[in-house]
Structure formats: C-alpha cells, structure tokens
Structure 1
Amino acid sequence: MRLLSRGAPLPLPPQLRRAMAGTPSGPAAPLPAERCCVAELPGAELVYFTCSSRGGPARAGAGIGALPRGVFLPRPGLCFSFCVAAGAAQSPVERVRAARLHQRLQQRLRQAPFGAGCQVLPLLSYSPDAAAAAAAALPEKGFLVRAARGAAETERALEGLLRLHLPAPAHLCVYQEEGEDGQPWRALWRLDGAAEGRELLGRARVVPASPPARHPAAAHLLDGAVFRSRRAARRLLEECTALIPEAKAVLDVVDQCPKLPKKGDFPVIVIEGLDATGKTTVTQSLTDSLNAALLRSPPACVSQWRKTFDDEPTLVRRAFYALTNYLVASEIAQESTKSPVIVDRYWHSTAAYAIATEISGPVSNLPPLCDPVYCWPEDLLKPDLVLLLTVNPEERIRRLQGRGAEKTREEAELEANSFFRQKVEESYKRMERPSCQLVDASCSREEVFEDVLHQIKKHFPFQ
C-alpha cells in the first residue's frame, strides 16, 4: 500500500532497529507515493486515514479530529494491510488481472491460518487528488487484517502469501498503537522476492483523512462495474478469453445478435426486485393473463456459463451480465412484434448490484440522484415499463428460508448484509430513463398480482 510521506522517518524503536540490521546496503529503495485509504468496519462504518512521517496531522486530515479507537488493534495484537496494484484505468487486461488476483487473495484470507484468529476488512487505497485519480490510476483494492492474537504467526503467513502472489517488491503495512496516547503508527515493509528478504522503508503516524466529496470508487463505476455500452462490455470480456475459455463462447453468441434491434408494437414490461420478492410468481401470472412472451435475463442461450462467471470477480461478472442484456434485447425485438413481452430482470438489476458492490459503507455513499451511472445505455433496447417489487426485510428472509435453493455469492450477501441490501434497493430506485415503478409485494400473491395488473393497465390499453 502506498501511504508513506516523503519526509525523513522518525527514530526507530529498538525492535525495528534490530529488524533492519540485516538490510542490504546500497541506494535507498524509492518510497511509494502518498495515498489515502478507506477501511470498511463492521456495521458499514467507513474510516478514512493517511500517514504522516512527521508525527503531526497530515494535510489531508488537518482539523478533523482523531481516528476512532479500535480501528487498529492495541498491543499485543497487530493490524496489517496491503493492496493490489490496479494499473491504468484505460487497460482492461490490467484491470482483469488485478481483479482476479484480489479475489484469489480474498479466498486465501478466509482459510487457515487467517480464518480463525483474524478479522479481514475491505480496504481501498486511492489518490487524494480527485482530478488525477479520475484521469489515471484506479483505486487499489486491498485488505485490513486485524490479528487479536498470534500476530507474529499472522505476519509471517501474510509475508509468505504476498511473496507468492504479488509481483516483487510487495509492500506490507504493520500497524501498532504506541505511547501513552495510544496513537497508531505504521511500519512500511518492502518484501523482496527472496524467501526472507525484507526492508523497512520507514515509520509514519496514522492520521485521519478528510472524506472526499464522492466515494473513491464512484469515479470509476462507468465501464468499470456498470457498462454504458455493448462495446465497452465486449472489450473487457475479450481480455478474459485467454483466462476463461467460456468468454469466447459468450462473445460468439453476442456477435450473432443485431447491434441496434428495434422494438415491435406490443408493450415490453420488466419485473425487477431482490431475490424472494415474488418475481417468478408475478412474471408467470402476467404471462398467462396477458397472453405474453416470457423472457429471462440471462437468457437460456448462455445460461450454461452463468455459474462460471458468477465465480469471477465483480468486474468480469458484470461484463458478462451486461452482454446478456443485449441478448435479451434481441429476443425482445423479435417477440414484441407478436405479443406483449414480460422480462424477468434486465439492465436495472445488472447496474444496481454492481453499484452496491463497488460502493462501500452505508446508502449515503451511493452516487447522487441523476448521476450518469443510473442512466440506461443508449445502445440498449428500452422497455416500456419497469416494475420494482419490494418486500419488508422480515418477509423476504422468511421466503428465502423456505426456498432451499443454492445461493449465488450476491444472494448470500443480500441475506447476510442489510447494508448491501439497502444499497441495492436504493440504486434501483435512483434509475432513470426508464425509472422503476414501485410495487409493495409483501402482501398475498393475489393482491400483488392485482396491483401489478392495475399499474400495467394504467399504461397500456389492454382489452
């Protein structure tokens, strides 16, 4: 993680002087550029921080108080962090490689020796210069690893993990609360490719940083999680063909579809909502009642590859789902010339889940209303009406427990994380052109269907 300021390091305590005794001589290693970080604590609380090698408040954190206690564990516990370099924003292949590496590290951190004695929290490292960050390097995803016990063993395991997976030299940050005031300090270690080689680059005091006006990930949502065009999603999935053979098969199917299909004269109605809100029941009932064609996203022609992409990082998974929307659009164009069309999920689902995944913290961190990320892609066929089914959390959980079906990663997250669920629902509600019309689906099936049918008949002159 690149957090250290360029000032001279403070005098080192005896234990760190001893650790440096075997450091190779020669020119000093270049220090990484100063960065800010945001960690997501349990309860979706976000903590922004940076480092000051002079021990006083950093420019980014001046006048905003102290860090909350407990972010970094007091002695004898230790806290560690590291990030995965994301590369240039314009390079899809670098973004894919970084995303897959981050996911691989995340999976490894769930296993021994990390799983039992450590708490692993999401971390994002970003440039405090908003203009530079938007134009060049992406924020870097990483982890804050808190070890309440077995800190020495955890540190050795982390070093081995980073040497194995990250290109040399990797950087590992070690945090410890020191002094009477218990303020956290960070030691920045450079890990060489050799089994034991490491160098202490310096120490710095950890200080609060001012939260940016927008969440650090918000500037890179478009074409990084929410794809604004078929071309953008295709370009990213092309970079996956060497890593994921199924990506080529998906692209071959997509390339057989017309690029700008036209909707027929019959109405197209999309039913959206979280899992267990009754979409399947409503869509089937509407299909029967209106003598309509029923389409689902993703469509059957690529459903055999869905599990493969559900196991990939968000970046790759969202490119796959974005392209499946264009396959659905081609089906809509054909079917809407013959009958009304009911669609079980479409673009709004793809975008809402992507936004909620990438933006950490509570709902208040989502991009504001009218942000371009909520706007329908210009090259994707639009429906005539989008209905969003909503249920209260207790009813949704009750329904989920009765389903017994295998859950995707995001379905499991919806069930376990109320903050994620709230962000998905709010993202749905902020969609525009077309927006979502809300339907309370907490009551009986008959009442929900009557409400849905009433809203549809307000828009279309069915006989």
Structure 2
Amino acid sequence: MLPRGLALLPRSLSAMPAPLMGSSAHTRPCFAVEGAGGSELVYFTLSRSGEGPARDPCCPQPSCFLPAPGRCYSLCVPAAPCSVPAARLHRRLQQRMSGGQGPLGRCRVLGLLGYSADGAQTAPEKGFLIQDPQGSPETERALEELLRSQGEPPPALGVYEEGERGELWQSLWDLRRAGGRELLRRARVVAAEAPPLHPAVPGLRHVAVFHSLEAARRVLEQCTSLIPEAKAVLDLVHKCPKHSKKGDFPVIVIEGLDATGKTTVTQSLKASLNAVLLRSPPASISQWRKTFDDEPTLIRRAFYALGNYIVASEIAKASTESPVIVDRYWHSTAAYAIATEISGKMQNLPSAHHEVYHWPEDLLKPDLVLLLTVSPEERIRRLHGRGLEKTEEETELEANSLFRQKVEESYKRMDNPGCQDIDASPAREEVLKTVLHLIKKHCD
C-alpha cells in the first residue's frame, strides 16, 4: 500500500487525445490523491482549454499542491488491467523515490489514482506526485534520470507551475528523446467533486479480489519468467480438480487477524471433533510466502487466491472422511485486499452486499465461518509476546488502526457465507465452548 498520496497523469491519456479508460469524448480525466493516515482524499481534474478565471471559487486550485517556492511533479505507470510488468515498475519507482537519498530524499512522495468520471468498471491507473518544498531544479533532473533508467518507453513526467494569474498548470513531458524531451500537453489543474464510490472500487475484482481461479492464474502466468516459484505454484494448481466438491462432513473455517487465537482454537477443534486441520496458504506453497509477500499487491493477491483453490482440493478429499477445520480461507484474502486498495476513511469501503464481498462461484464453500476478535490492545500484547517476524501487512495493522478497522469491517461484510463473530478475549476453555456451541447449532 502506498504510504502517502498524490497525483499523476496516466500515459494512456498523455500520449493521445483519447479520454481516460474509454470514457466519452466529453469526460475529463479525474484523479484522487491518497492522503496519509486515513485522511480525506483530494480530487482534481484537468481542463484542456484552461477555461475559468484565475482563483474562481467555482474552479479552485486543489489544496494538495505546494505554493511557491515549492514545486510538484507527477509520473505515471502506463498499465493494462492486471499487468505484472506495470505492477513491478510501480513498486520499483516507489522504492527508489522513498529511499531517502539525493534530491528526492527531501521530497514527499504521494500516491494517485487516475480514473474515469463516467464510473467505468475498470481499475484506476496508479502513480505518484512528488512534492519538493524547495523547488530545486535538481529534483526535476533526478526524476528524469530515474524515469529514463526504467526501460523504454520511460513514463511521462508532469511538471506543475503557477500561471500569471495564480492558476495552476500541468505540463506533461515525453522523455523518449535521447537527452531531450517533448511537450505533450499543457492543461489547467482544477479541483473536482468526490465520486459516489472510491475510485478503486470498480476495479477491485480485476486487480485485488479474484473471483475465479482463471483470473488469478492469468496473473501468475505472467510471472513465470520473472519469479521461478510462480511456475511451481501453477503446476500444483493444474493438478487440482476443476470443481472441488465437499464431502458429507462439515467444513469450518476460522478467520481473524493474527494473534486473535486462531492457532489455539483450530488445534482444540481438531482434537475435540477428531477433525483434519488445514491451512491457507497450504503447506505445499507456504515456503514461498516470503517471495510473494515481497512482490506488488497484484502478484501477492494472485498467489494467495490460488492457494485457496489448492486448499479447496484438500478440503474436498478430507471432508469425505472426517470434519475439516481450516485456518483462514478466502475471506482473509479478500478482506486484506479490500482494506489495502481502498485508501482513506472507513466510509470509502464498498457498501454491504457489494459484489466484491460475494464468495467465488468456482471455490468450494465451507459450512461455517467463525471470525475471532480481540481488542486492539490485547492483540498487540499477544503479538509482542510471540516475537515473530511480521509481514508488511501485519506491520501496517499494528501501526495503522484505520487499516485494522477496514480489515475487520471487510470481514464482517462478507456474504454467502458470512462470518459469525466470536469474542476471543476470554479464557481458551470458554472460547472453545462458544465455538463448539455454534458448530453444533449450524452443522449437522
């Protein structure tokens, strides 16, 4: 997840006059600035004709841009939906600009989403806006050098400057010329109204929450020449039945954030019910978690999604002989993905019953899903007591209470099947008693 947030102009828009993402000829490109710490998003658009007088209250300058002598720059990653090369380029640029060295070290790097105002069901384009409070020419040179080093064609560079009457303009530069650059467009920057939905919501099913095996597999197939482990994962998926069906015994999934007691509960249920205990991701691919956790979210989500389908084949076989307990399953994959992609406040999450919360039609469905919860203070105390290495998302959970709230709320909005809440704060015997009661109530 991007740590901070502001804006860029997508290259698909920059190189040609065509509107963003297939919008109508009269639809302006729109952008959402992702603020730090859950702050409100800032929205702006570009006016090709530059209409509107300077400082017009009806056409204000967005508050996210620095006043003089500061200066802002933007860059974008041109991308087709689910493009692995674009996702990896975006990650590389983020790491290089956040390294804290050279002229870029004094800048603030912000994340941006470029989207179509007509509500097209596509993923937003991602990029960055770089705020240089000193407005040094060295920053612009460092950015050009960085972009030219990323292969051909290099991403375009946006430069923001104040006009004679106080209005804000973006000049978009093509860097494909050897040692030079060409002006693609100059457009006025004006504030825009917030859309009805967070810009990332329409594309969630395409880049974060995979609702079919094929969608996740297409992503990892792009990785086989880049990540050797991707082929091994795909080979295991290929051996799984196309449609895994549950046996006669019940399948119970235990969900929850780390340190909410899942291990204790699942081990106790295994003994109490004489059940088989399975985990997602399964043991057959869990040794590659660190490899995929270090990749962009698109690749990471596809890995965990395919892990669910491998687990489904194990559930199908085991549930013909005994009850099955599963430590995390699809709900975990989806909840973390939604909370990561939807920046800003809780209100930005997709509303309850949105399609993104629906269970995939081609994935074996459990009989019961139990969500273990504890207070944030108790969860952190347990985490510290374990002393285990944290994933990037676990570090974010601990440091960012808003991110944790969005994960938990996403869990609670899951549908068909939904999650049954369990307070896991009491003694383990009491928690187990509550869990067994719900299993008896909901499963024959």
Query: Structure 2 counterpart of 1:156, which letter?
Result: R
State the partner residue of 1:119: 108
1:74 aligns with 2:63: no
State the partner residue of 2:25: none
State the partner residue of 1:241: 224
Cα RMSD of the aligned pairs, angstroms, is 2.6
1:6-85 equivalence runs, <5 A: 33=19, 34-44=28-38, 45-56=40-51, 66=60, 69=63, 71-85=64-78
Per-residue CA deviation, residues 302-330 of structure 1 (Å, 9 max, x unaligned), is: 11222211111111111111111111111
Per-residue CA deviation, residues 61-117 of structure 1 (Å, 9 max, x unaligned), is: x98774563x11222222221110112x3xx5xx11111111111111121236641
State the partner residue of 1:232: 215
Answer whether contact 1:163 1:193 (CA < 8 A) is retained: no
TM superposition shift of 1:453? 2.5
**For 2:442 and 2:108, how far apart are their aligned partners in 1?**
51
Query: Structure 2 counterpart of 1:96, which letter?
Result: V
Per-residue CA deviation, residues 378-429 of structure 1 (Å, 9 max, x unaligned), is: 1111111001112222222222222221111211221222222222111111
Answer whether contact 1:169 1:193 (CA < 8 A) is retained: no
1:144-223 equivalence runs, <5 A: 144-149=129-134, 151-165=136-150, 167-168=152-153, 170-176=155-161, 184-195=168-179, 197-201=180-184, 203-223=186-206
Per-residue CA deviation, residues 231-254 of structure 1 (Å, 9 max, x unaligned), is: 222222112212222111111111
Measured at CA, do residues 35 and 3 of structure 1 come closer, stay the same or move farther in structure 2, by a change above 3 Å?
Answer: farther
Identical aligned residues as a percent: 65
**For 1:3 and 1:299, how far apart are their aligned partners in 2?**
38
TM-score calculated relative to the size of structure 1: 0.84
State the partner residue of 1:320: 303
Measured at CA, do residues 202 and 460 of structure 1 come closer, stay the same or move farther in structure 2, by a change above 3 Å?
Answer: closer
TM superposition shift of 1:175? 2.6
Per-residue CA deviation, residues 348-398 of structure 1 (Å, 9 max, x unaligned), is: 111111112222222211222211111111111111100111222222222
Measured at CA, do residues 234 and 192 of structure 1 come closer, stay the same or move farther in structure 2, by a change above 3 Å?
Answer: closer
State the partner residue of 2:4: none
TM superposition shift of 1:2? 3.6
Per-residue CA deviation, residues 192-235 of structure 1 (Å, 9 max, x unaligned), is: 3423x123445433211122222222222113211111122222
State the partner residue of 2:23: none
Q: Which secondary structure state, in structure 2, belongs to the residue aligned with residue 269 of structure 1?
A: strand
Answer whether contact 1:223 1:233 (CA < 8 A) is retained: no
Answer whether contact 1:173 1:186 (CA < 8 A) is retained: yes
State the partner residue of 1:355: 338
Q: Which secondary structure state, in structure 2, belongs to the residue aligned with residue 222 of structure 1?
A: helix
Number of residues of Structure 1 aligned to a counterpart in Structure 2: 423
Query: Structure 1 counterpart of 2:149, which letter?
Result: L
Extract unaligned runs of 5+ from structure 2. Answer: 1-7, 20-27
**For 2:71 and 2:230, how far apart are their aligned partners in 1?**
42
Query: Structure 1 counterpart of 2:90, which letter?
Result: H
State the partner residue of 2:89: 101
Measured at CA, do residues 376 and 30 of structure 1 come closer, stay the same or move farther in structure 2, by a change above 3 Å?
Answer: closer
State the partner residue of 2:3: none
State the partner residue of 1:343: 326
State the partner residue of 1:254: 237
TM superposition shift of 1:148? 2.0
TM superposition shift of 1:52? 2.4
TM superposition shift of 1:261? 2.1
Runs of 4+ in 1 over 6 A off after TM superposition: 62-65
TM superposition shift of 1:55? 4.4
Match of 1:385 among 343, 365, 368: 368
Match of 1:266 among 240, 243, 249: 249
Q: Which secondary structure state, in structure 1, belongs to the residue aligned with residue 353 of structure 2?
A: coil
Match of 2:291 among 278, 297, 308: 308
Measured at CA, do residues 188 and 249 of structure 1 come closer, stay the same or move farther in structure 2, by a change above 3 Å?
Answer: same
**For 1:220 and 1:269, how far apart are their aligned partners in 2?**
30
Answer whether contact 2:31 2:112 (CA < 8 A) is retained: yes
Query: Structure 2 counterpart of 1:85, which letter?
Result: P
1:120-139 equivalence runs, <5 A: 120-131=109-120, 134=121, 138-139=123-124
TM superposition shift of 1:346? 0.3
Per-residue CA deviation, residues 424-453 of structure 1 (Å, 9 max, x unaligned), is: 111111111100011122333333333222
**For 1:363 and 1:455, how far apart are their aligned partners in 2?**
29
Q: Which secondary structure state, in structure 2, belongs to the residue aligned with residue 411 of structure 1?
A: helix
TM-score calculated relative to the size of structure 2: 0.88
Q: Which secondary structure state, in structure 2, belongs to the residue aligned with residue 212 of structure 1?
A: coil
Query: Structure 2 counterpart of 1:185, which letter?
Result: W
Measured at CA, do residues 129 and 254 of structure 1 come closer, stay the same or move farther in structure 2, by a change above 3 Å?
Answer: same
